Amino acid sequence: MAPRSPATSVFPAEDVVQMPGKVPVKGSGEFQYATTRGPVAGPQGTVRRFKVAVEKGSGEDVAAFTAQVRAVLEDSRSWVGAGRFRLQLVTGAEKADFTVYLATRETAGRMCQLGGTNIRIGGVPYTSCRATGKAIINLDRWRKSAPTYVESGTSLAQYRRYVINHEVGHEFGHRHEGCPKTGGPAPVMVQQTLTLRGCNPYSWPRRNGRDFSGPSL
């Protein structure tokens, strides 16, 4: 999938760093799933199928979230670009290899804890996470980004691309990485929500048509 032009972008405008207003802390704990099937994305490889779900009571639209997830995962700069596998969105009623969830912080905290990851900072569920078969995006970060991005003036759209690629990257077996060159772009498996490790924000696992990674941690 070719990168979308700004005029047709499904993301917030590039001058938006955070969304205004309060973020719901707690939803219903139940999820609404995308109801349409997408095309198979990627040049070659085994097809991995995924679902997209938004927590009810989060104030977010499942169709809008789905469009953004697809715009990332079907892009040649994302994981499919390497040709090791392909991806396809399926409906909530179908069998899938993994699901991308958008959840309020309280629900995300519980889901991540059940998956073996504590995402709390100062007692508050802060980051997003991956549990087996689940990429769980914290609504707080989806709407408010992270200080590493906000302080550099990097757009919320870029952060959203990053966090989807990062958590789905964990589902594909990738671990956290370091910064390969101070002042250069950060590999997507750097924990950019917490620290850039001397790099600058970057949203994609591929760069200039090649895989882009950093040193193992």
**Amino acid residing at 145:** S
Backbone angles phi, psi at 52, to 5 degrees: -130, 135
Which one has a higher pLDDT value, 7 or 151? Answer: 151
Instruction: Count Cβ atoms within 10 A of the Cβ of residue 104 and give its class: 0-12 exposed, 13-18 middle, 19 or more buried.
Output: buried
Domain limits, the chain: 14-211
CA dist 101 and 107 (Å) reads 10
The band of 4, judged by pLDDT with boundaries at 50, 70 and 90, is very low
State the average pLDDT for the chain. 96
The band of 8, judged by pLDDT with boundaries at 50, 70 and 90, is low
**Residue in 179, 173, 175 with CA at minimum distance from that of residue 202:** 179
pLDDT tens track for 146-202: 999 999 999 999 999 999 999 999 999 999 999 999 999 999 999 999 999 999 999
CA dist 130 and 116 (Å) reads 9
Beta bridge partners of 185: 200
Please report the pLDDT score of residue 108 as a whole number. 98
Tokens (6 digits) for 74: 């079907």
pLDDT tens track for 107-158: 999 999 999 999 999 999 999 999 999 999 999 999 999 999 999 999 999 9
CA dist 49 and 67 (Å) reads 16
pLDDT tens track for 47-96: 999 999 999 999 999 999 999 999 999 999 999 999 999 999 999 999 99
Percentage of the chain lying above the pLDDT 90 cut: 96
Third-level CATH fold of 14-211 = Collagenase (Catalytic Domain) (3.40.390)
Which residue stretches of the chain are H helix?
62-73, 105-114, 139-144, 147-150, 156-171
CA dist 64 and 168 (Å) reads 18
**Residue in 133, 130, 150, 136 with CA at minimum distance from that of residue 193:** 150
**Cα–Cα–Cα angle for 136, 29, 131, nearest 5°?**
25
